[in-house]
Amino acid sequence: MLRAICFDVGGVVIRISTRWHEMLQRAGLPIPAHIHPETDLSDMPLFDPYQAGDVSESAYLAGLSEFLGGIGVEKAAAIHLSILIEAYPGVDEIVQSLNAAGIATGTGTSSFEATASRQSPP
């Protein structure tokens, strides 16, 4: 008998941005010359190691600040948070129907603590 379902947040429950250019544009920040519309998250050298837990949050945010043109750690954290755009349509209804059927639901993410704490269960 199914008792619980855990959903990945990024790309499953929440639509995500995978391009630094888009995130900077949405934030209204200057876009450094080396950031092109196709510059992927993984093009930032510390992104993948950070996601894998091999780099601390403070080292990642310092590196992200520099990668994005020296915008500062607070702005870098805000840009990282903007990876999460919006919930996919229908997610709330799916979770509510699962819960109504007695199935517990939860979410998981590999993003840093600030991203995870920003999310509330769907």
The string of pLDDT tens digits covering residues 41-99 is 999 999 999 988 899 999 999 999 999 999 999 999 999 988 888 889 999 999 999 99
What pLDDT does residue 51 have? Answer: 86
Q: What is the DSSP letter of 43?
A: G
Closest CA to 47 of 37, 60, 59: 60
For residue 41 the two structure tokens come to 């998250």
For residue 77 the two structure tokens come to 């954290």
Residue 95 corresponds to which amino acid? V
Chain mean pLDDT for the chain: 87
Predicted TM-score (pTM) of this structure: 0.73
Question: What percent of the chain lies above the pLDDT cut of 70?
Answer: 89
**Between the CA of residue 75 and those of 4, 7, 58, 78, 103, what are the distances in Å?**
37, 28, 13, 5, 39
Domain boundaries, the chain: 1-16+87-122, 18-82
